[in-house]
Amino acid sequence: MDALGIIRQIEADPGLRAQLRAVLLSEEVLRLPELVAENSRDIRDLKESLHSVEVRLVSVEQSQARMEQSQERLEQSQERLEQNQERLEQGQERLERSHESLRQEVGRLSGVVGGTVESDAASVVVTVLERRGYQMRGEPEPLEVNGEIDVFVDTYDSEGASVAALVEAKTRLRPADVRRFAGTLDVLLATAGITGAFIPYVYGLRVYDGVVDAAKELKLGVLCPDGERLPGAVRER
């Protein structure tokens, strides 16, 4: 029987058609529309998931871009900080140089002022002693002993007796300076080898209150640019 005959036979026989349909249309084939629908839903869900991933990826890229921008700003800030630190170090170096220059200038000025005070004290004490009738054996000079004697001058009186004059010179003379000089006077005399008659003085460009009283109590004379504020007494050692 040819193919056309078979087809006609199937069409004429309902039972045969049912058997053939049962063979050809298996359960898997009959479920194909349902499977296609499920696959369509899975594909749609997959597309949605993929879109969500893409959105998150864009967000991540944006966050990374912001991080890179923040990193760039941080690097710029760090660069500015390093520049500021360098300028600060340069400023500190200039300040240190200025401080050293100022220290040297102050030291020089202190030496000038100190020398001027001692020179003034020497001039005043010579004038005072000459008015009192003393003659100078030599020029006034400082003595480097255990604690410097700012001005020392060797004199002799009208009878030819030697009298040494000693002066402690200060720019600002305070009672504490008087007491300090009086407390070291014996040591200074002993160290310098000064014996016999002497007149101890304190001198100040500016003499503070209480100096004269302290000097009177400690038997010291007081000198100022105008001369004797308190006459110095001759003492013996």
pLDDT score of 176: 97
pLDDT score of 26: 61
**Domain annotation covers residue 186:** yes
Parallel, antiparallel or unpaired: strands 141-143 and 135-136 = unpaired
**Domain annotation covers residue 217:** yes
pLDDT tens, position by position, for the chain (237 residues)? Answer: 566 677 777 677 777 666 666 666 666 656 667 766 777 777 787 777 777 777 787 787 888 888 888 888 888 888 888 888 888 888 777 777 766 656 655 444 444 444 589 999 999 999 999 999 999 999 999 988 766 899 999 999 999 999 999 999 999 999 999 999 999 999 999 999 999 999 999 999 999 999 999 999 999 999 999 999 999 999 998
**Domain annotation covers residue 148:** yes
pLDDT score of 115: 52
**Domain annotation covers residue 134:** yes
Q: Number of folded domains in the chain?
A: 1
pLDDT score of 110: 46
| Radius of gyration from C-alpha coordinates of the chain | 58
CATH number, residue 148: 3.40.1350.10
pLDDT score of 134: 97
**Domain annotation covers residue 31:** no
Contacts of 136 (CB under 8 A, 6+ apart): 126, 129, 130, 153, 154, 155
- pTM (2 d.p.): 0.54
**Domain annotation covers residue 92:** no
**Domain annotation covers residue 83:** no
pLDDT score of 112: 40
Domain span holding position 216: 118-236
**Domain annotation covers residue 126:** yes
